[in-house]
Each structure stands twice: as structure tokens, then as C-alpha cells.
Amino acid sequence: MRPRLARSRLQRLAALFPVVAVTGARQVGKSTLLAETVGSEVRTFVFDPVMDIGNARRDPELFLRLNPPPLVLDEVQFVPELLGPLKRLVDEQRARPGQYFLTGSQQFGLMRGLQESLAGRVGLLDLRPMTQDELYGDIDAAPTFTEQVLTATSARGLLVALGGRSRLRTAPPLPERVFRGGMPALLRFRTNEVAEFFAAYLATYVERDARLVRDFQAPHEFARFVRLIAGLTAQELNASHLGREIGITPHTARGWLDALRQGFQVDLLDAWSTNSTKRVSGRPKMHLVDTGFAAWLTAISSPVALQSHPQFGALFESYVVGEVIRQSSAHATPPQRWHWRSAGGAEVDLILERDGVHHLIEVKLTARPSRRDARGLAAFAETYPGLNVGRRLVIHGGPDLEMLDEDTLAVPVDVI
């Protein structure tokens, strides 16, 4: 298996906390990462929504005492009964670090249980599909692109720093990378076999994971909804219209979208505003977490078909946004993330905010970006002259890393 950016952070968390929880979508490599980091000899229990493995539900305290640490508890959202007794045992052991490792593929319920039962005792790691460097490059070429953006003191300084990054010279062409996405399991699949993987993935997700969040009377309707959502990637969501195309109510659609979020299948970027309350009242922008899954859901059959498909631009944007988020999740202090659209239509696809500095990113599926492609970035800076605006970037599909103007840098996707 290929090394992951998250491994060093997982090691740091294990040295600090008695419990470490690794969360993320199904098939992103949580169990593999733990096995490679804590050792395959550590005893592991993989829990199930039906079977009571080791009587962990019936008598969770006895289960834990019969199975001393170090211990890996995989898919722990199926046995929330363990969390209370786990807290008591951790306190008995005087919070020795690196004792219990938990994984989960359901977000909000699991997080609520961890925060209520293990507050102050658990380190959290959000694992996502693989980054470009993990798949095709070299993760030892630190720091990541995102960290370089967040720490650069000038646009020209960032230009020099990025000029020293290794490009993905051995990677497949961009359409194939977007088409395949970043699921680790696909490393052993040929490109013409990707559809088989995602067909099984959707069936497993609908039947096993999503039903734990919502009681679906008609799973095939939910599957239609997932396909609808895939067609809306990189778009602002209108909650009152969501689901209308397939005949479901907005209330049902919001519940089903919540199920997708809990399963780590979609990211929502809130609308940015100087008023913190308006940041959550504007329309969010939605991105499917994995563009390979999104391409399959929208019936795109191959990288060649993707190149001429009207969804290519949207999928490229989700690919770039997802790449930045994946890199950020390995940071101890990840930036906040927003999008922005003015009343006049100017927009910024992604705003990264850390230490009070706002870094602006526009994504353009073009081989030759121009200053015209950076108009939204300039409009944002002009609209908020008192705001601390950092780097302005246009990430594109071409080969050239260059300054578009004194404030704006054009960055090839192969460099990020």
C-alpha cells in the first residue's frame, strides 16, 4: 500500500491521547492506515449492525475488560454502548496514550457520542480519499501545496516555492484522474473496471450505511437522489427545490442530503460574509467528496467520454476543492473553508481562512488561464478592502505556473 499523509498525524495523536478516532467514508482506507501505523498484531474487532460481536452490545464493560489494550475497534458506530465503559477504563488507566483506536463511517452520531463520552480523551482524524501525491507522487516532498499557500508571505514567494514541487510526471492524464477519483481500493482496478467498483459501492452504501441514518422505505428512490446530487456537484444548493426533479419533498430531500453528509459522501461550503450569521444563511455550495463516484453516478463511462461531457468543468472544480480539503485534513490546524458569490455574479470557488488571512482560489478548466479568469478574486478583494487577503490563485488544467498579475498566481493542477 502507498503511504498516507495522515499517518504522521495519527502517530502524533496516538502519542498524546488514550483514544484516537479515525473517521471517514467507507473504503477510504481507515483500517489499512491503522494496521500500518499501530501494527497488524494489535487485536482488532470489526463491528456489525446486526451481529453482536463478542457480546459488546450486551455487556460492553465485560467485553473491554476481556480484551485489554492496545485495541482497534472498527466501525464503532455500530456499538455506541462501548463509549461509556471505555471512558471509565481510560480514566482507570490514568489516560495512558495510544490505548484504543476507533474507526467510524457515520459522522454526526459518532461524533456526538465521542464528544459526550470521551471529551478531552480522544484525538480525531478525518481520513479522506487519497491525494494526488499519495496516488501518483511523493508525500515526502513536504510541505503540502495547501500548507505552502497558507504560510507564503507573498505571491512571488509562493511562485518560487511551488516551482520546486515535483510535478505528477508519472500520473495518467487529468481526465483519467478525475474519472477514477481517489478511493484506495481502485489502485488494483484497471480504468475500464472502475464502474464495477462504484456499482458495488453504491449498493453497499444504500443498503448498509444510509439506512442507519434514515429509514428508507424505497432504497431505489434514494439511489436516484444520490445520482441527482452527483449532477449538482460544484453548484449552490437551493433547499426549497432540492429533490423536485424526482418527485420528493424538500423536507425528505434535506433528510437524505443529511444522510449523505453523515456518510462523508458530500462536503458543503457555506457562503462567506463579513457577518458571521450570514455565513450560514446563504446558499452552500456542494461537492461530492470523490469525483470518481460522481462521474459514475452521472453515467460517464470513460475518461474519453468525460473530456467532452458538460459535467467536466464541475467535476474538475470538485476534484481541486477535494484535493485541497484532503491535504488540509492532515494539518493540526486546518483552515476554515468558504465560497463566495456577489449579487452581481462575481464568485470565488474556495476561500481558505486561517490566522485571520483569507486565501482565494478560483478553479478553471482551461489550458491557458488569463487575468479575466481572476476577476472574481479581484472583485472579492475590492469588495472588502479592510480584509486581510492573502494569496490569490487560479488553479487550471494547463502546464504553466506563472504570475497573472502582481497579486495572482496561475497554478497547474499537477502542482497542487
CATH number for 105? 3.40.50.300
CB 252, CB 246: distance < 8 Å: no
The predicted structure's pLDDT at residue 280: 64
Other Cβ atoms less than 10 A from the Cβ of 218: the count is 9
Residue 359 lies in a domain: yes
Same domain flag for 332 and 218:
yes
CB 159, CB 401: distance < 8 Å: yes
User: Region 168-174: what's the mean pLDDT?
Assistant: 86
The residue type of 179 is F
Same domain flag for 178 and 312:
yes
Other Cβ atoms less than 10 A from the Cβ of 267: the count is 19
75, 106, 126: which is the final residue of a domain? 126
Report the SS3 class of residue 101: strand
Q: Which domain holds residue 67?
A: 6-126
79, 95, 126: which is the final residue of a domain? 126
In terms of C-beta density within 10 A (0-12 exposed, 13-18 middle, 19 or more buried), how is residue 172 classed?
A: middle
3-state helix, strand, coil in the chain (%, to 5): 45, 15, 35
Q: How far apart are CA 96 and CA 386, in angstroms?
A: 47
Report the SS3 class of residue 416: coil
Q: How far apart are CA 95 and CA 89, in angstroms?
A: 9
The predicted structure's pLDDT at residue 368: 96
Same domain flag for 213 and 290:
yes
Q: How far apart are CA 416 and CA 412, in angstroms?
A: 7
Residue 387 lies in a domain: yes
Same domain flag for 91 and 150:
no
For residue 350, the surrounding DSSP H or E stretch is strand 347-354
Same domain flag for 143 and 115:
no
Same domain flag for 117 and 181:
no
CB 273, CB 282: distance < 8 Å: yes
86, 103, 126: which is the final residue of a domain? 126
Grid cell digits, residue 130: 487519497
Grid cell digits, residue 19: 483514544
Mean pLDDT of the chain: 91
How does DSSP assign 134-169, residue by residue? HHHS-TTSPSPHHHHHHH-SSHHHHHHHHHTSPP-T
Q: How far apart are CA 390 and CA 393, in angstroms?
A: 10
The predicted structure's pLDDT at residue 358: 97
Q: How far apart are CA 103 and CA 51, in angstroms?
A: 18
Domain count, the chain: 2
pLDDT reading at 211 higher than 80: no
Grid cell digits, residue 182: 481517489
Same domain flag for 225 and 83:
no
Same domain flag for 285 and 350:
yes
Residue 1 lies in a domain: no
Same domain flag for 13 and 150:
no
Render pLDDT for 21-33 as a digit per residue (tens, 0 to 9).
999 998 999 999 9
Residue 271 lies in a domain: yes
Same domain flag for 63 and 201:
no
Cα-Cα-Cα-Cα torsion 70, 76, 80, 86, nearest 10 degrees, comes to: 10
Q: Which residue in 201, 412, 192, 231 sits closest to 309, CA to CA?
A: 231
Cis check: omega of the bond before 70, within 30 degrees of 0: yes
Of all residues in the chain, the percent with pLDDT exceeding 90 is: 69
Look up residue 335 and give its DSSP letter.
P
Strand pairing report for 336-341 and 347-354: antiparallel
User: Region 260-279: what's the mean pLDDT?
Assistant: 86
Between 202 and 275, the more confident residue is 202
pLDDT reading at 278 higher than 70: no
pLDDT reading at 2 higher than 90: no
pLDDT reading at 85 higher than 90: yes
User: Region 250-267: what's the mean pLDDT?
Assistant: 90
pLDDT reading at 207 higher than 70: no
Same domain flag for 185 and 287:
yes
Same domain flag for 98 and 117:
yes
The predicted structure's pLDDT at residue 137: 82
